[in-house]
Amino acid sequence: MALKKQAAKPKAVTASKEFTDPALKMAVRIPSPPPLLDDLMRLLVSPNSSIEAISQIIQTDAGLTASLYRMLAKPIYGLRRPPEAVAQAISLVGLTTVAELVKGLSLEKAIFGDSLFYPWFWDRANDIAAYAAAIAWKQRTACNIFPEHAKLAALFMDCGVPILIQHIEEYEYAFISSKGHFWPNVLGEDKRFDTDHAVVGYMAARYWKLPDYVSQAVRWHHDAINTNDKSATLVAILQIAQHIYNMQSMKDDSDWAKHESMALQEIGVSAEGLREFEEEIAERVREM
């Protein structure tokens, strides 16, 4: 007998918006971007906004500001020393980079709950995001993908999972084992519950105003690459980042075989050079 879809008990009182899609067979509520992010986006499109005004908006959240400083201290951003003020961060890496980093840092705060699943999920997502950013940086000439966009795509690509868990309590069961949490065949779970976590992630990415090609990569990160689309390169980065994460963490990597050839071709890495490439990316992430 099929399990009935149930709404989980609310984890917290947070703003959200309801979305529907034919692929889901249900409506889902996606957490809204925090007011800080809405204010930031309005300033970014205003011709009269100043760096000082944008800095003040970000600095209203001390925790977010501290996380931003820690992020920019990582070697991947190439700064000799971490910034000591948001205005300085903007001058060093640019408004767009800072804004995209703030989006990623805000997402984890917006999608959380009481279950131990959530910290485990975000640890995994952040690890994969670090690999994705490192790949984009190393292959920047061949791929022309901003590391912060690769990181955002990796954080959003599976965020549909915790959102669905907040609607379908039983969706979490497949992630639980006697030894803790693990990543199951999520596409199988989607089919079981007549839903699609990639579609939910895509809707979240669009709602949070990510660049269109980033949102498209979130939507199609499980699918074969369309090499005529800019998002294809980002999909390849996401697939390789997951592969490296699985190898480094000794997790199941059975999906890699169907993506390997096209993903490597898309980012300009040969099959013979894959092992060395994996080691270089893993080493860069360890240095972060």
* More confident position, 198 or 12: 198
User: What is the span of the domain harbouring residue 262?
Assistant: 113-288
What phi-psi label fits residue 286: left (phi over 0), alpha (psi between -120 and 50 degrees) or beta? alpha
As for how many domains the chain has, the answer is 2
Is 279 found in the same domain as 249? Answer: yes
Residue 6 has pLDDT above 60, yes or no: no
Is 210 found in the same domain as 120? Answer: yes
The per-residue pLDDT for 228 is 63
Quick check: helix, strand or coil at residue 28? strand
Using 50, 70 and 90 to split pLDDT, how confident is the model at 8?
very low
**Residue 28 main-chain phi, psi, to 5 deg:** -130, 150
Distances from the Cα of 15 to the Cαs of 34, 110, 183, in angstroms? 8, 9, 28
Please state the rounded mean pLDDT for residues 9-36: 82
Q: Kindly state the helix (H) or strand (E) to which residue 220 belongs, with its residue range.
A: none
Tell me 194's DSSP state.
T
Q: Give Cα 264 distance to the centre of its chain.
A: 21
The per-residue pLDDT for 230 is 82
Quick check: helix, strand or coil at residue 16? strand
The per-residue pLDDT for 220 is 95
Q: Between 147-157 and 117-138, two packed helices, what is the crossing angle to 10 degrees?
A: 150
Which of 89, 110, 131 terminates a domain? The answer is: 110
The Cα–Cα gap between 133 and 237 comes to 9
| CA pseudo-torsion sign 235, 70, 126, 161 | negative
Please state the rounded mean pLDDT for residues 152-171: 96
Is 98 found in the same domain as 167? Answer: no
Distances from the Cα of 101 to the Cαs of 108, 159, 186, 209, in angstroms? 12, 16, 27, 13
Using 50, 70 and 90 to split pLDDT, how confident is the model at 111?
very high
Is 100 found in the same domain as 77? Answer: yes
The per-residue pLDDT for 4 is 41
Contacts of 284 (CB under 8 A, 6+ apart): 75, 76, 134, 137, 138
Which of 77, 110, 143 terminates a domain? The answer is: 110
Which of 110, 135, 169 terminates a domain? The answer is: 110
**7 falls within a domain:** no
Please state the rounded mean pLDDT for residues 205-227: 90
**18 falls within a domain:** no
Is 283 found in the same domain as 161? Answer: yes
Q: Give Cα 136 distance to the centre of its chain.
A: 14
Is 200 found in the same domain as 165? Answer: yes
Using 50, 70 and 90 to split pLDDT, how confident is the model at 271?
very high
**27 falls within a domain:** no
Is 82 found in the same domain as 209? Answer: no
Per mean pLDDT, which range of 5-19, 65-79, 110-124 is the poorest?
Answer: 5-19
Residue 3 has pLDDT above 70, yes or no: no
**21 falls within a domain:** no
Is 217 found in the same domain as 147? Answer: yes
Contact 237, 245 (CB under 8 A): no
Is 64 found in the same domain as 50? Answer: yes
Residue 25 has pLDDT above 50, yes or no: yes
Residue 251 has pLDDT above 50, yes or no: yes
CATH of the domain at 165: 1.10.3210.10
Tell me the HSE value of 49 on the side-chain side, using a 13 A CA sphere.
15
The per-residue pLDDT for 233 is 96
Contacts of 176 (CB under 8 A, 6+ apart): 117
